[in-house]
């Protein structure tokens, strides 16, 4: 009888211990994401496809074929964390919320920089017919797929450097792959794969010197963008993470302001590719 009673007690203790272990596993903070908020801040590098850019106004209408452009990297710099100069480097800001354990929605701004490569030779098609009292009249003429070397800044300099701002929303999926690395405690280090899609508007501040005209250089909604991304997220001590992403997309801007005259416009579309490194925090309110 005593043996049966001891066996019964040992069974209860074992079941209780097992149940507590199960509860502890279930209670791990990183086991569930639903209801958590997150914020992310980081930097990026970009590459751009060549783009046909059309410039039009009262006395001119021409297209630069296959314009080459590049980004404007800052490198490792204190400006990334200096509130006064945060818009100088190329940055990424994202705020989001997990609607389920695997899916999040977010709003963000990709602050990219786009600079026309100077001293390039590109074909130009169209015409320039400015009054002779304007500086740019020296470029008057008809262009028919004519090669032009853009060394003379009175003809054209063109950049979105403050910046090529992609204001967007996105939906992303997260999958915990910590078990693949046999991590013993997912509340200390957790590794996630993430991928997502997004879309939004382009709100650039375009700096253009065009045919000697006074530049506009102010923020203006100019078009739209679409994007897709994939990356890896490493979360430390439940609340802090570092995330690396590869992100590509398409930008179409048909209403770019170039000078102080509202009649002067530019339009272009191109593909972009970003490499992003960011840090962030994730919290349940």
SS3 of residue 11 by DSSP: helix
pLDDT in tens, 140-178: 999 999 999 998 778 999 999 988 999 999 999 999 998
Using the structure block, give the residue that is written with the tokens 């090669």.
Answer: 147
Tokens in use for 168?
């967007």
Q: What is the mean pLDDT of residues 37-41?
A: 96
- As to burial, measured by CB atoms within 10 angstroms (0-12 exposed, 13-18 middle, 19+ buried), residue 41 is middle
Which pLDDT band holds residue 110 (cuts at 50, 70, 90)? very high
* Residue 207 covered by a domain: yes
Which pLDDT band holds residue 75 (cuts at 50, 70, 90)? low
- What Å distances lie between residue 148 and 120, 136, 209, CA to CA? 8, 15, 16
Average pLDDT, the chain: 87
Question: How many residues are recorded in the chain?
Answer: 285
> For the CA atoms of the chain, what is the radius of gyration?
27
- Under DSSP, the state recorded for 259 is B
- Which domain covers residue 271, as residue numbers? 35-284
Dist CA 46 CA 53 (whole Å): 19
Dist CA 211 CA 15 (whole Å): 82
Answer whether residue 1 shows pLDDT above 70: no
**Long-range pairs for 134-141 at CB < 8 Å and ≥24 separation?**
134/211, 134/212, 134/213, 135/211, 135/212, 136/210, 136/211, 136/212, 136/213, 139/211
* Residue 22 covered by a domain: no
- Under DSSP, the state recorded for 133 is T
Answer whether residue 53 shows pLDDT above 60: yes
* Residue 171 covered by a domain: yes
What φ, ψ does residue 59 adopt, rounded to 5°? -120, 20
Q: What is the mean pLDDT of residues 191-212?
A: 95
Sign of CA dihedral 198, 207, 135, 120: negative
Answer whether residue 9 shows pLDDT above 60: no
Which pLDDT band holds residue 5 (cuts at 50, 70, 90)? very low
* Residue 29 covered by a domain: no
State how many domains the chain has.
Answer: 1
Q: What is the per-residue pLDDT for 238?
A: 86
Answer whether residue 235 shows pLDDT above 70: yes
Using the structure block, give the residue that is written with the tokens 């650039």.
Answer: 204
Q: What is the mean pLDDT of residues 197-208?
A: 96
Dist CA 12 CA 17 (whole Å): 9
What φ, ψ does residue 70 adopt, rounded to 5°? -145, 175
Picking from 58, 11, 13, the residue whose alpha carbon sits closest to that of residue 258 is 58
Q: What is the per-residue pLDDT for 89?
A: 86
Dist CA 185 CA 25 (whole Å): 10
Give me the helices (H) in the chain, please: 2-26
Q: What is the per-residue pLDDT for 25?
A: 43
Answer whether residue 193 shows pLDDT above 50: yes
């Amino acid at each position: 009888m005593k043996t049966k009673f001891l066996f019964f007690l040992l069974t209860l203790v074992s079941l209780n211990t097992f149940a507590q272990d199960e509860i502890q596993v279930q209670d791990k903070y990183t086991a569930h994401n639903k209801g958590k908020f997150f914020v992310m801040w980081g930097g990026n590098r970009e590459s751009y496809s060549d783009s046909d850019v059309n410039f039009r106004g009262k006395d001119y209408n021409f297209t630069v074929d296959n314009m080459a452009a590049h980004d404007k990297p800052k490198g490792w710099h204190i400006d990334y964390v200096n509130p006064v100069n945060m818009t100088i480097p190329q940055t990424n800001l994202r705020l989001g919320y997990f609607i389920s354990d695997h899916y999040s929605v977010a709003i963000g701004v990709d602050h990219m920089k786009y600079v026309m490569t100077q001293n390039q030779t590109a074909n130009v098609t169209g015409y320039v017919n400015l009054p002779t009292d304007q500086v740019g009249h020296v470029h008057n003429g008809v262009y028919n797929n004519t090669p032009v070397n853009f060394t003379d800044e009175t003809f054209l300099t063109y950049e979105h450097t403050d910046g090529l701002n992609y204001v967007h929303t996105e939906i992303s999926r997260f999958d915990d792959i910590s078990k693949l690395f046999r991590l013993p405690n997912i509340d200390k280090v957790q590794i996630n794969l993430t991928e997502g899609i997004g879309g939004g508007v382009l709100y650039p501040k375009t700096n253009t010197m065009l045919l000697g005209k006074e530049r506009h250089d102010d923020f203006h909604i100019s078009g739209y963008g679409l994007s897709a991304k994939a990356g890896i997220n490493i979360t430390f001590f439940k609340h802090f993470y570092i995330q690396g992403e590869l992100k590509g997309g398409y930008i179409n801007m048909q209403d770019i302001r170039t000078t102080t005259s509202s009649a002067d416009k530019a339009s272009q579309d191109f593909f972009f590719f970003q490499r992003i490194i960011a840090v962030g925090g994730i919290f349940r309110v």
